[in-house]
Amino acid sequence: MDATTKPLRIPPEMATYAEKHGIFDLIQTLVRNLVIDKPADPIQYLIEMLKRESTEVPKVMLLGPPASGKRTIAKKLCEHIGAIHITASDILKDTSVLTRAALEFTEKNQEIPRDLWIKLIQQRLSKVDCVRRGWVLEAIPKSREEALCLQEAGIAPEHVVMLQAPKSVLIERSLGKRIDPVTGDVYHVTFMCPESAEVAQRLEKPQDLISEDVIFLQMQAYQREAHALQRTYQNCLKIVDADQAHVDAFAQVLTYVLSRQRSAAPHTPRIILFGPPGSGKSLQATLIAKKYELVNICCGELLKAVAADESSMGELIKPFLESGRQVPDNVVLQILVERLSRLDCTSQGWVLHGFPRDVEQAEALQESKFSPSRVVFLEMTDGVAIERLTLGAIDPVTGERYHSLHQQLQCNPRHSEAEVQKRLQEYWSHVDALQAFYPQAVRVRADQDPHTVFECLESRLVGRLPKVLPDRA
C-alpha cells in the first residue's frame, strides 16, 4: 500500500498487544545486548536471552561518600527488587584465576590494576544470578576513568543513585557506626537504632573504625571524583539527600529505581478519565486532547450524535435518550468500538470519559481489545461536587458554564441537589471495584484550580509506568 496516497491502516489491537507485552522494548534490549556482548552465535544467544524469566532486570549503581548509608540502602533495595547486592569485597571472594591474581596485589597493599579490576567486575556480573535477577553495585565505580572502562566493557547501568550529605553529618555518622555481628547490618547510635532490644545489645564497633582525620581525607578523595561521575552518568543519575531519615531516603531511591526511562517505541495514548459528577472530566479531557492532538470522546455526547443521524443505530437508541432511560450496555459498546476503530483514534490516540461506569463495562471494553494505556481517577469530596454543580449555571446564548448567578443564566435540571446526590451515590457504588480493576491507575485531586489539576494530571501521563515489583512470596 502506498502510504503517500492513503494512510497505512494498522489494526489497533496490534499496537495494544505490542505495548502490553513490551515488544518494542524487548527488541531494543535484544539488539543492544547483541552489540555489546558480540556473541559468536547470535541466534543461540538470543534464544538463551528469551528463555530467561525477564530480559528487563535491574542494573543499579549506588554511589556516595563514606557513611552516607550506601550499605543499608543497597541491602533494602535488593530485598525489594530481588537484585543481587555486589560490593568490592564480594567480587574478591571468588576462587577464579583472576581473583587470585588480584589478591596478590591486595596482600602487598598495592592497588589492583584497572584492567584486571574491570575483568573481575565483568566476571561477577556475568554469573547466572546477576543475569537473571539484575544487580546493585555498591560504591562501584570510584572514578570517571573506571566508569568509562566499565562502559567500554558493556556494563551500563539503567539507574545511578548518588547519596550526598554535609561533611559534619557524615563524620558524626562514621564515628557512631555500629555493626550487628550476626547479620552484618549497619546501625548508628543516634541516626538509626535497631528496633529490637536484642539486636541493640549485641551491636559492636567496626573493627576498621578510623579516626576523624582519615574520614575527612576519604571524603576529600570522594569529592574529587564525584563531579566527574555525575557528568559521566548524567542521563540516568538521581541525587538523593542522605541527611534525612533512612526510610525517607530509601523511599526516594526505590521510587527512582522502579521508574523507567523514556522509551523510543511508538506509542498511541489511550486514556480513560474517571471522577464523580463535577470533578471536571470534560474540561480535563478537552485540555489533554487539545495539547496532545488526541480524539476527545465523551460517551454521552457520542450517543447523542449517533441518535441525531438517521442511521438504524440512531433510531434504535433515540427512544432511550428521549425517555431518560439507560442505553443497553451492548449497544453502547458497539457504538463506542466503532468510534475507537476509526483512523483518527488508531493513529492519534484518544481520551475517553463517561464510559465505563462499572466493572462489567470495563471488562467488556477490554475484551473488545481497547484497553487503556493510562487510567486517571479525579478525586473530590461530595460537598465540593454538590457546590460546583448546584451553584453552576449555563449561558443559554453561548453555552458557556459559570459558577455565579446572572439574569441570563439558567440552571441545568440534572444539577439539582437531589439529582446530584443520586449520581454521586451511583458513582461511589462502583469506584472501588473500578480502582481494583485498574490497579496502575493514578489519582489526582480535582478540588484545585483546573490548570493545576491539568499540570498534575499531565505529569502522570507523559512518563512511563513504574516497574512492577517481583513477587517475593
Closest CA to 453 of 317, 323, 286: 286
- For residue 143, the Cα-to-chain-centroid distance in whole angstroms is 30
Domains of the chain: 57-165+208-258 (3.40.50.300), 270-462 (3.40.50.300)
- Cell (9 digits) for 373: 494505556
- Cell (9 digits) for 139: 560504591
Q: How far apart are CA 122 and CA 153, in angstroms?
A: 7
- Map residue 332 onto helix, strand or coil: helix
User: Which string of DSSP letters, residue by residue, matches 47-93?
Assistant: HHHHHSS-S---EEEEE-STTSSHHHHHHHHHHHH-PEEE-HHHHTT
pLDDT at 17: 78
- Taking CA 364 as the corner, what is the angle to CA 438 and CA 9, rounded to the nearest 5 degrees? 95
- Map residue 9 onto helix, strand or coil: coil
Quickly count: other Cβ atoms within 10 Å of residue 208's Cβ: 6
* Whole-structure pTM value: 0.67
Q: For residues 428 and 276, is the Cβ–Cβ distance under 8 A?
A: yes
- Map residue 136 onto helix, strand or coil: strand
Q: Which residues contact 12 (CB under 8 A, 6 or more apart)?
A: 268, 340, 341, 345, 346, 369, 370
pLDDT at 249: 92
Q: Point out which residues pair with 135 in neighbouring strands.
A: 59, 84
Quickly count: other Cβ atoms within 10 Å of residue 386's Cβ: 18
Q: For residues 72 and 183, is the Cβ–Cβ distance under 8 A?
A: no
Q: How far apart are CA 116 and CA 422, in angstroms?
A: 73
Could you read off the pLDDT of 381-425 as tens digits, one per residue?
988 888 887 765 555 555 555 554 444 444 555 557 778 888 899
Quickly count: other Cβ atoms within 10 Å of residue 241's Cβ: 13
pLDDT at 1: 41
pLDDT at 232: 94
Q: What is the pLDDT along the chain (473 residues), one digit of tens a residue?
A: 444 455 555 666 777 777 777 788 788 888 877 887 788 898 998 888 787 656 678 999 999 998 888 988 999 999 999 999 999 999 998 888 999 999 999 888 899 999 999 999 999 998 888 888 899 999 999 999 999 999 988 888 999 999 999 988 888 877 777 777 777 777 766 666 777 777 777 877 776 666 777 788 888 889 999 999 999 999 999 999 999 888 899 999 999 999 877 666 667 889 999 999 989 999 999 999 999 999 999 999 999 999 988 788 888 998 988 888 889 999 999 999 999 988 888 888 999 999 999 999 999 999 888 889 899 999 999 888 888 877 655 555 555 555 544 444 445 555 577 788 888 999 999 999 999 999 989 999 999 999 999 999 988 887 766 666 555 44
Q: For residues 60 and 257, is the Cβ–Cβ distance under 8 A?
A: yes
pLDDT at 314: 85
pLDDT at 183: 78
Closest CA to 380 of 442, 431, 444, 449: 444
Q: How far apart are CA 165 and CA 215, in angstroms?
A: 14
Looking at residue 101, its amino acid is A
